[in-house]
Amino acid sequence: MQDFSFKKPDSLDAAVAALEAQEDGIYLAGGQTILPVMKFGLAEPTGVVDLSGIADLVKIEVTDKVVSIGAMTTHAAVAASVDIRRALPGLADLAGLIGDPQVRNRGTLGGSIANNDPSADYPAAVLALNATVVTNRREITADDFFVDMFETALEDGEIITRVDFPITDCAAYAKFANPASRYAVAGVFVAKRNAKTDGGVRVAVTGAGPVVFRVPDMEAALDGDFSPDAIKNISVPADGLNNDIHASAEYRSHLIGVMAERAIKTAKETNNKGGGAQ
Amino acid sequence: MPKITLTVNNEPVTRDVEARTLLSELIREELKLTGTHIGCDTSQCGACTVQVNGQPVKSCSMLAVQANGADVLTIEGHGDGETLTPLQNALHEHHGLQCGFCTPGMVLTADALLRDNPDPSEEDIRHELEGNICRCTGYQNIVEAVLAAAKTMRG
């Protein structure tokens, strides 16, 4: 790894200034992706601006409508949060499935979605729950945030401060994990939402395509009948899905259906147990 | 060069380090604590696991400067070096290691697990050890050792 200057500012403004002072600077969140990338020489920043000194970025706030999570909150903290588990158990479950314990102890929500790895877990929750990504400059809806592989709506120097997840009455995530990396070969987050007031069910798929995407056919079917049977005959075509050493596009296409059914089943069970919020 | 101050195995450490220095490099090359092993160096295998403020992390995927002010525990700080801890003893009794390369990381992850969850199920243990790869044992005896250690520690 080539050497770089290191700054750990204690405010958003200072972080922006520190980044702007660099010819080729990057923000550092948990480092679980960027540090291995830098070790491979695939990124060679001249300056690293560590966001961990900004206290406001680590927090979990749960109201009766929204789960608000600070961008530098670790996956381990989300998975262990009793409040999140009560309000959105599917989100806590997802956080507990990211990587492994060591990665969850360092990796952060903001880092994950800013990186927008096509196989990352969080983008599926952000998109399916219709979350709002809040930055130091604006609010970005989930549908606008994830642009393409490793590409988001974030502008140069923009910092995610928190993500607001609207609470729905039942939601769950299921993924087929790569056995070595635990990245999603295909992961599906299903969120049941009121069709009249909240735009209906949302189904988001990660791992299978170049970027997280929704499945409108499944969403429409689930609006009428929120059950695994409702989507039995709906498939996402293999065309355009990822095809690599881990899984063929056809296999990923098949996995989307299986994972969606599992997520729906889990969401219904969670709701029946009264674990989900109203 | 950034100056960092941290605690390693209860000893204060102050060093000037290049920003690019990994925590694993500081531990092994600067502090000569070579019980922390580098397996893959790509954040997959967990051999380099240490505890930072009580939480297991992969020291090859953390900068030394990120550990500034932190409390770091390496395998050399687990137990007193004379008497085996319940976890070490259980790994011995249950043949939980063969080549031993993954063992320091395995111990530090399991140690944190047992602190958080004194009565883990087999499933809990397998889930929590997912970040530590062992190419010898097939994990069965490691899981049995952690179960046994938990029982001993509960008394």
Do A36 and B66 lie within an 8 Å CB cutoff?
no
A225, A238: one domain: yes
- The CATH number covering residue A178 comes to 3.30.465.10
Q: Is A270 left (phi over 0), alpha (psi -120 to 50) or beta?
A: alpha
Q: How far apart are CA B155 and CA B151, in angstroms?
A: 6
Q: Does residue B16 belong to the interface with chain A, where contact is any CB pair within 8 Å?
A: no
Q: Does residue B58 belong to the interface with chain A, where contact is any CB pair within 8 Å?
A: yes
A66, A126: one domain: yes
pLDDT in tens, A34-91: 999 999 999 999 999 999 999 899 999 999 999 999 999 999 999 999 999 999 999 9
Do A6 and B19 lie within an 8 Å CB cutoff?
yes
Say whether pLDDT at A274 is over 60.
no
Say whether pLDDT at A99 is over 60.
yes
Do A32 and B55 lie within an 8 Å CB cutoff?
no
Nearest to B143 by CA among B91, B100, B77, B83: B91
The strand pair at A47-50 and A5-7 is best described as parallel
DSSP state of A231: G
> Among partner residues A6, A102, A181, which is closest to B46 by beta-carbon distance?
A102
- The CATH number covering residue A21 comes to 3.30.43.10
Do B130 and A4 lie within an 8 Å CB cutoff?
no
Say whether pLDDT at A102 is over 50.
yes
For residue A48, give the chain B residue with the closest CA: B19
B90, B73: one domain: no
Domain end point (choices B55, B77, B99): B77
pLDDT in tens, A147-166: 999 999 999 999 999 999 99
Domain count, chain B: 2
- Give chain B positions within 8 Å (CB) of A180: 44, 133
Do B46 and A100 lie within an 8 Å CB cutoff?
yes
A73, A194: one domain: yes
Residues of the domain holding A141: 56-272
For chain B positions 84-123, those within 8 Å of chain A (CB to CB) are 109, 112-113
- Give chain A positions within 8 Å (CB) of B50: none
Q: How far apart are CA B55 and CA A217, in angstroms?
A: 43
- The CATH number covering residue B138 comes to 1.10.150.120
A169 confidence band (pLDDT: 50, 70, 90): confident
Domain end point (choices A52, A68, A86): A52
Do A180 and B44 lie within an 8 Å CB cutoff?
yes
Do B65 and A6 lie within an 8 Å CB cutoff?
yes
Q: What are the φ/ψ torsions at residue B60 (nearest 5 degrees)? A: -80, -10
The strand pair at B11-16 and B3-8 is best described as antiparallel
- Domain for residue A231, yes or no? yes
Q: What is the mean pLDDT of residues B21-29?
A: 98
B7, B73: one domain: yes
Q: How far apart are CA A163 and CA A189, in angstroms?
A: 17
Nearest to A98 by CA among A204, A207, A212: A207
Do A76 and B49 lie within an 8 Å CB cutoff?
no
Predicted-complex ipTM score: 0.96
Do B61 and A1 lie within an 8 Å CB cutoff?
no
B149, B91: one domain: yes
For residue A76, give the chain B residue with the closest CA: B55
B59, B90: one domain: no
Paired with A170 in beta bridges are A192
- Domain for residue A240, yes or no? yes
Residues of the domain holding B39: 3-77
> So what's the pLDDT on residue A275?
44
pLDDT > 70 fraction of chain A, expressed in percent and rounded: 97
Q: What is the mean pLDDT of residues A176-196?
A: 91
Do B61 and A35 lie within an 8 Å CB cutoff?
yes
Contact between A69 and A78 (Cβ < 8 Å)? yes
Angle of helix B86-93 relative to helix B140-154, nearest 10 degrees, comes to: 140
- Give chain B positions within 8 Å (CB) of A8: 65
Burial of A137 (0-12, 13-18, 19+ CB in 10 A): middle
- Domain for residue A278, yes or no? no
Q: How far apart are CA A117 and CA A69, in angstroms?
A: 20
Say whether pLDDT at A272 is over 90.
no
Residues near A251 by beta carbon (within 8 Å), at least 6 away in sequence = none
Contact between B1 and B41 (Cβ < 8 Å)? no
Chain centroid to CA A69: how far? 12
- Domain for residue A277, yes or no? no
- The CATH number covering residue B54 comes to 3.10.20.30
Q: Does residue B66 belong to the interface with chain A, where contact is any CB pair within 8 Å?
A: yes
Contact between B47 and B35 (Cβ < 8 Å)? no
B106, B124: one domain: yes
Which has the higher per-residue pLDDT, A277 or B73? B73
pLDDT > 90 fraction of chain B, expressed in percent and rounded: 96
B144, B91: one domain: yes
Paired with A176 in beta bridges are A186
Q: Which residue has the tokens 């158990």?
A: A89
For residue A180, give the chain B residue with the closest CA: B44
Contact between A125 and A91 (Cβ < 8 Å)? yes
> Among partner residues B46, B63, B130, which is closest to A35 by beta-carbon distance?
B63
A278 confidence band (pLDDT: 50, 70, 90): very low
Domain count, chain A: 2
Say whether pLDDT at A132 is over 50.
yes
Q: What is the mean pLDDT of residues A248-264?
A: 98
> So what's the pLDDT on residue A276?
41
Q: Which residue has the tokens 């290191």?
A: A6
Say whether pLDDT at A3 is over 50.
yes
A194 confidence band (pLDDT: 50, 70, 90): confident
DSSP state of A89: H
Contact between B104 and B149 (Cβ < 8 Å)? no
Q: Does residue B41 belong to the interface with chain A, where contact is any CB pair within 8 Å?
A: yes
- Domain for residue A47, yes or no? yes
A87, A162: one domain: yes
pLDDT in tens, B120-151: 999 999 999 999 999 999 999 999 999 999 99
Q: What is the mean pLDDT of residues A112-129?
A: 98
Q: How many CB atoms sit inside 10 A of residue B138's CB?
A: 10
- The alpha-carbon gap from A69 to the nearest alpha carbon of chain B, in Å, equals 21
Burial of A53 (0-12, 13-18, 19+ CB in 10 A): middle
Do A6 and B46 lie within an 8 Å CB cutoff?
no
Say whether pLDDT at B77 is over 80.
yes
Contact between B154 and B119 (Cβ < 8 Å)? yes
pLDDT in tens, A226-237: 999 999 999 999
A26, A140: one domain: no
Say whether pLDDT at A202 is over 70.
yes
Q: Give A131-200 as a DSSP string.
A: -EEEESS-EEEHHHHEEETTEESPPTT--EEEEEEE--SEEEEEEEE-TTT--EEEEEEEEE--TTTS--
Say whether pLDDT at B36 is over 50.
yes
